[in-house]
Amino acid sequence: MYVAIFNIIQYDCPVVWLVEHLRDAKIIVTGANVAEISRGYEKIYVVLLGDDEVISKALDKIGSYNLVRSYEVIQKKKNFVKIQMNIDKTKTMETSVFLDATPLAPWIAKEGYERWTLGFHSKKQLNEFVSRVNEFDYIEKSIVEEIPDELVAEFSMNYLAALNLLTVELSKLTSKQLSLIRKALESGYYEWPRKINIVELSEELGVSRAAVTKLLRRAEKRIISSTLKYLSKTSV
């Protein structure tokens, strides 16, 4: 499967239009129901993140925008609101449905574009999607990798474990630990034989050997223990 991440500027998308007018808001499209796309509209589920003022402005704009047919607030918390919207179909969504592209992640809207993560069953399908989208919208950036279908399936089967690894376990690494372990990796500390030892690394950083050793050990322990925990959850 070809997995592609696109930053797409959609000229007919109300979500992209919203982030252009609400710079302080973060908007996530958590789902899309395209069953009625042949009738000219789609149902999307949108999460708005921001303070009360930003959310209030967003709801006013949604209610007045002509591409939004109707909307309903289905959940509201502090600095968070989830909305179900019926919107006019967008050309990019219609193209993805027509070409059987597989959505692999939520759509994230920011800074005037929407990030799409899609799976394609062939290079021809991927190229056709890119060609068609560029006829009416603009792909600002794209990253494409060919990943074996069984690995995509394995990730999907272990989605919760992977999510926990990335958002809970590894997020506990401090910025100092991340910076140090990145420096150590780039400098060849983990090569065999090592290109730099702990003394040389500490001298380059202007930090004591004891401090560097302590930070590295803690970072390494976090990464190793988190990885082993993930593997134990995916082995069933």
Q: What percent of the chain has pLDDT over 90?
A: 56
Q: What's residue 118's pLDDT?
A: 96
Task: Report the pLDDT averaged over residues 81-106.
Answer: 93
Task: Report the pLDDT averaged over residues 122-132.
Answer: 96
Q: What percent of the chain has pLDDT over 70?
A: 98
H helices within 65-158, ranges in order?
91-98, 123-136, 149-157
| Residues 29 and 44: beta-carbon distance below 8 Å | yes
Q: What's residue 236's pLDDT?
A: 46
Q: What is the dihedral of CA 176, 181, 182, 183, to 10 degrees?
A: 90
Task: Report the pLDDT averaged over residues 113-120.
Answer: 94
Task: Report the pLDDT averaged over residues 109-121.
Answer: 89
- Burial profile 149-159: b = 16 or more Cβ within 10 angstroms, e = fewer: eeeeeeeeebe
Q: How many CB atoms lie within 10 A of CB 225?
A: 11
Give residue 234's Cα distance to chain centre.
22
| 100 φ/ψ sector (left φ>0, alpha ψ -120 to 50, else beta) | left
Average pLDDT, the chain: 89
Q: What's residue 51's pLDDT?
A: 83
More confident residue, 188 or 156: 188
**pLDDT above 80 (res 210):** yes
CA–CA separation, 182 vs 131, rounded Å? 38
- Least confident piece of the model among 1-10, 15-24, 52-61, 126-135: 15-24
- Least confident piece of the model among 53-57, 135-139, 179-183: 53-57
**pLDDT above 70 (res 235):** no
**pLDDT above 90 (res 160):** no
Task: Report the pLDDT averaged over residues 79-85.
Answer: 91
Task: Report the pLDDT averaged over residues 146-166.
Answer: 86
- Which residues have C-beta within 8 Å of that of residue 219, sequence separation ≥ 6? 173, 177, 178, 180, 181
Task: Report the pLDDT averaged over residues 138-143.
Answer: 94
- Which structure tokens are listed for 200? 């040389």
**pLDDT above 70 (res 18):** yes
Task: Report the pLDDT averaged over residues 37-64.
Answer: 88
Prediction pTM value = 0.76
CA–CA separation, 198 vs 209, rounded Å? 7
Question: Residue 161: pLDDT band by 50, 70, 90 thresholds?
Answer: confident
